Amino acid sequence: MTLIMIRLTILLMLISSVHADDWPQWGGPQRDLIWRETGIVKQLPSGKLPRVWSTPIGEGYAGPAVAEGMVFVTDRIHGRGREGIERVLALDSKSGEIIWKHEYPCLYNISYPGGPRATPVFDNGHLYTIGAVGNMFCFEAKTGEVLWSKNFQQDFGVRLPTWGMAASPLVEKDQLIALVGARNGLLISFDKLTGEEQWRSLDDSAIGYCPPVIFDFGKSRQLISWHPRAVSSVDPQTGQVNWEVPFEVRAGLTLTTPRKVGNRLFLTAFYNGSLMLDVADDGSGVKRLWKGSSNSEINTDGLHGLMCTPFFDGENIFGVGSFGQLRCLNAQTGERIWETLAATGEGRWWNAFIIPHEDRFFIHNEQGELIIARLTKSGYEEISRAQLIEPTRDVRRRMTIWSHPAFAEQSVFARNDKELIRVSLAE
């Protein structure tokens, strides 16, 4: 009996040492694009990774969200011309079986009309989605019942940005805060249970695509909005502006999520390069530490990122530049230390997503490969790579995937324009 108890105790200790997470929104549990689960493989097998399951879906750029045994994703089914329907799908994370779906008609009058862009957000039994042309819903996550909805164009007079609505909304206490783009309401806060408007903040003739994030600076909790005119800090409870730093971004391409280490805040744009800010200890103000001098995506002097949110560890910055170069910058000065094309390829808008995990990175490139590599100031060290999913979208005569995967349940959940898959990465 004693031996059995000892064995059970050891088993329970082993089980408890494996930390499993959901990926309930853009950027994961902490909205910072870091994967913190344990018990993950150290090396990938060569060839095509075996699937736990694969489920057919329609086209879309929006990454999946995973929460409480369910996977949520949005897609589009084409109609005639600009007509079609967008769908919200909920799947069982164990089997890939569709539990419920909600669909609605919408006209696409945007560039790259390849489906929804924004990752769904799960919070306390509710699911929030934003479609490419501004249809926002709050669902009962288990059943798909619509609890409330908004239409950005009809309800707020929004003129859509060139590439549609792409910013995933943010839950903060009893609020859902969204990048809407209304007049005097670039950001709008809604009661997350009823949809009632709480406050509006900021104004910009362009909207941009960067999801709002919340950071703590000392005891000051601040909502950071990077929009085409400036980087703005807003009180998340009232919408009152704390401070702003002008940062004019060409073509409205504010896209990558801002990165914070200590009081420093890093941003990077495709045309206009990089910017490093330093926020006061009490959050009351900000100063510019450095900014790249190049406003060209071709003749670059630092990191000119587009879709890849960089990783900032305090000393180094790692990210993918305007033509596919994986680069390392000195975080103190913005000086480029090295670059490589080994993880990607070379071409305009070429992309890979980098996801830190323990002492290495998982890199999902637009060719549909998954790579495990170490990134240090000394360079790029590839450990292994395998084929995760087929690239299905033709961009500039190459096939691509521009959808960020989700890392949850010791697995990777990835989508293209044909299927949503789950691949186990358990050790």
Q: Is the pLDDT of residue 18 over 50?
A: no
Segment 265-288 shows an average pLDDT of 96
Two tokens, residue 365: 């490139």
Q: What is the DSSP string of 111-123?
A: SS--S--SPPEEE
Cα torsion angle, 322, 246, 261, 199, sign: negative
Question: So what's the pLDDT on residue 80?
Answer: 86
Question: So what's the pLDDT on residue 81?
Answer: 83
Two tokens, residue 15: 């089980």
**Apex 248 CA angle, 204 and 163, nearest 5:** 65
Q: Is the pLDDT of residue 22 over 60?
A: yes
The model's pLDDT over 180-200, given as tens digits with 9 standing for 90+, comes to: 999 999 999 999 999 999 999
Q: Is the pLDDT of residue 17 over 50?
A: no
Q: Say what the alpha-carbon torsion angle 74, 80, 81, 83 is, to the nearest 10 degrees.
A: -40
How far, in Å, are 37, 345, 358, 411 from residue 40 at the CA level?
A: 7, 27, 10, 8
Give the chain's domains with CATH numbers: 54-178 (2.40.10.480)
Question: So what's the pLDDT on residue 19?
Answer: 53
